Amino acid sequence: MAPPLLQLTDIHLTFGGTPLLTGAELSVGEGERLCLVGRNGSGKSTLLKIAAGLVEQDRGERFVQPTATIRYLPQEPDLSAFPTTLAYVEAGLAPGDDAYRARYLLEQLGLTGEEAPANLSGGEARRAALARVLAPEPDILLLDEPTNHLDLPAIEWLESELKAMRSALVLISHDRRFLESLSRATVWLDRGVTRRLDKGFAAFEAWRDEILEQEERERHKLDRKIAMELDWLRYGVTARRKRNQRRLAELGAMRRERREQRRVLGNVDMTVSEADLSGTLVIEARHISKSYGERRIVDDFSIRILRGERVAIVGANGAGKTTLVEMLTGRLAPDTGTVRLGSNVVMARLDQTRSALDPEASLTDVLTDGAGDTVVVNGQSRHVVSYMKDFLFSPEQARTPVKVLSGGERARLLLAKALASPSNLLVLDEPTNDLDLETLDLLQEMLADYAGTVLLVSHDRDFLDRVATSVLMAEGQGRFVEYAGGYSDMVAQRGSGVGARTVEKAKAQKAPKPAAEKPAAPAPRRKLSFKDRHALETLPARIAELEKAVAELAAKLSDETFYARDPEGFARVSARLAEVQGELSAAEERWLELEMLREELEG
């Protein structure tokens, strides 16, 4: 077996007085695909920084093969020392690396390379940082929340790019679909130590639950044994004899073991404050449009949203999702058309930008709006500290200012504030950002039980599949099309994913057109990249495989007795047929595009 490229052994680290890592380990071999999972605050990012050599452990060993190259993607990249995004990406290249790849990756991620770092949004800075770590094609990629601030097209592109790379991967992400697609092994960081499962993330949660159930059984046995020994100590007439001092010492050892056990953190207890039911019709929009200058954001859009529906809005960043939400909720007037809210609609909002949080305010002030120390939830008055505990905040954090909270803690605080407000219409803008997987599960369950209506903007495909009853897809040029079901249903109906970004740069839109403009010089001809040439060679065989699969699945469905024999199997085969047809359509379109480009270049 080949030696690992990177090895962390018996890693210990303490921040303040609390041990964060108490014997954590990590081994990364050539080409391995690992996901690193655990609760918010468990130390995942810190362990990744130790692996990258950016944080020194208190105890333990870090070994890296001398020839191995490592690139690390931080959650908050710093581009301030560079004049442009291209300069930032090129600074990450080593001698002999392909400089063209830096420009290629920036272009694929929707950047030109000429952007000044000071003017970048969070999503654009994340894209530049991704280009920097991907460009050298290192031996090991350490990626901390790579999908944060990315839109769906960028996430799907990144997923495809990482699959094609030979680099070993260590991923931290809250995006289930992303982890399931890329991981081949799972490392669980829990209470300071790591456990490894040599299967992808899809098998993790069942494995984790089995371990936690076994721990609970062992804890119960220990409690019973302590109770028995205490009973002997109180009532046994021989308890004080010298020969029984060993038994007393064992009881003391059991008590210490029980006291020192680090139990799993509790779960968030989400309860949404529900107002009286709204009318059956919640929102009705008729032929609404919105433009900024010559750019059409929403074009002739109509929809009726009924009570109990969960409508998700997806698409590229800048496609007009937030503008559409603002119009549908009455906060922004359309240029044309009308929006009508139904009777008795009471709205609560979750703002993804965290702008609702004053960095200097304490948690108590945020939850009570600075009025006392009680929160009214579902008509009942609760002390703010009790309510904070439902969202895993300690009593000591009651007077903590918002500015010292982590991203995950801020996300939980915003959820706590939004859910305390009585509502029958929840408007959630990127609610999954920075939430750990367990909290995401509880949020999904809460939304499933919510009697009101949900308007949702999200780039989390798994979350959309679990929550949404319909999806509004930004198709470009201000067009939004509604598809029944979740994200996967939308993909099956469209025959492809969210597609390439089509959003133009704001600067280009605002630039005034010269009065007398010379004919534009012809754009330089694009060259076929290695990836394009490889696709041209392999796509015909792939298309043939998909055509064969479509024929086989269609043959199964043509059996008149299939549905009567196995309704669930019939549904699975139908879903698979739609999926394969979508893949076939996408492959044919890609091959046709490349073939036309090849003919143009050769002609």
111-117: average pLDDT: 91
Q: How much of the chain, in percent, has pLDDT values that exceed 70?
A: 84
> How far separated are the first and last CA of the chain, in Å rounded?
51
Which amino acid appears at position 176 of this protein? R
The pLDDT score that the predictor gives to residue 498 is: 65
Most confident of 190-199, 248-257, 579-588: 190-199
The pLDDT score that the predictor gives to residue 444 is: 84
pLDDT of 11 higher than 80: yes
Instruction: Check the annotation: does 523 bind a ligand.
Output: no
H helical segments located in 333-436:
363-368, 384-390, 407-420
The pLDDT score that the predictor gives to residue 241 is: 52
Report residue 512's pLDDT band, with 50, 70 and 90 as the boundaries: very low
The pLDDT score that the predictor gives to residue 234 is: 60
Instruction: Check the annotation: does 315 bind a ligand.
Output: yes
The pLDDT score that the predictor gives to residue 237 is: 46
Instruction: Check the annotation: does 31 bind a ligand.
Output: no
| C-alpha closest to that of 311 among 497, 495, 457 | 457
pLDDT of 540 higher than 70: yes
Instruction: Check the annotation: does 321 bind a ligand.
Output: yes
Instruction: Check the annotation: does 45 bind a ligand.
Output: yes
Report residue 501's pLDDT band, with 50, 70 and 90 as the boundaries: very low
Most confident of 2-11, 226-235, 535-544, 573-582: 2-11
| C-alpha closest to that of 190 among 169, 211, 220, 219 | 211
Average pLDDT, the chain: 82
Between 278-287, 357-366, 403-412, the lowest mean confidence (pLDDT) is in 403-412
Phi-psi region at 81: left, alpha or beta (left = phi > 0; alpha = psi -120 to 50): alpha
What are the pLDDT digits (tens) for 525-538? Answer: 446 666 777 788 88
Most confident of 150-164, 219-233, 253-267, 515-529: 150-164
The pLDDT score that the predictor gives to residue 272 is: 66
Instruction: Check the annotation: does 202 bind a ligand.
Output: no
The pLDDT score that the predictor gives to residue 349 is: 85
Most confident of 101-105, 532-536, 594-598: 101-105
E-state strands within 434-523: 453-457, 470-476, 479-484
Report residue 83's pLDDT band, with 50, 70 and 90 as the boundaries: very high
Strands 59-64 and 6-15: antiparallel
What are the pLDDT digits (tens) for 13-50? Answer: 987 667 889 999 999 999 999 999 988 778 899 999 99
The pLDDT score that the predictor gives to residue 497 is: 64
Instruction: Check the annotation: does 318 bind a ligand.
Output: yes
**Sheet with 281-292, edge to edge strand ranges:** 295-306, 281-292, 336-341
Report residue 547's pLDDT band, with 50, 70 and 90 as the boundaries: confident
Instruction: Check the annotation: does 582 bind a ligand.
Output: no
**CA 142/CA 127 separation, integer angstroms:** 15
Between 94-103, 372-381, 454-463, 467-476, the lowest mean confidence (pLDDT) is in 372-381
pLDDT of 518 higher than 50: no
pLDDT of 580 higher than 90: no
Which domains occur in the chain, in start order?
6-206 (3.40.50.300), 218-260 (no CATH), 281-494 (3.40.50.300), 530-602 (1.10.287.380)
Strands 425-429 and 347-350: parallel
pLDDT of 87 higher than 80: yes
**CA 486/CA 469 separation, integer angstroms:** 6
What are the pLDDT digits (tens) for 238-280? Answer: 544 554 656 566 656 665 655 555 544 555 566 666 667 778 8
Report residue 351: phi and psi, to 5°: -95, 120
The pLDDT score that the predictor gives to residue 161 is: 92
| C-alpha closest to that of 591 among 553, 542, 520 | 542
Between 152-161, 208-217, 398-407, the lowest mean confidence (pLDDT) is in 398-407
The pLDDT score that the predictor gives to residue 24 is: 94
Report residue 1's pLDDT band, with 50, 70 and 90 as the boundaries: low
58-66: average pLDDT: 94
pLDDT of 478 higher than 80: yes
The pLDDT score that the predictor gives to residue 270 is: 60
Instruction: Check the annotation: does 317 bind a ligand.
Output: yes
Between 87-91, 189-193, 375-379, the lowest mean confidence (pLDDT) is in 375-379
The pLDDT score that the predictor gives to residue 506 is: 37
Report residue 168's pLDDT band, with 50, 70 and 90 as the boundaries: very high
C-beta of residue 453 within 8 angstroms of C-beta of residue 309: yes
Instruction: Check the annotation: does 38 bind a ligand.
Output: yes
540-547: average pLDDT: 86
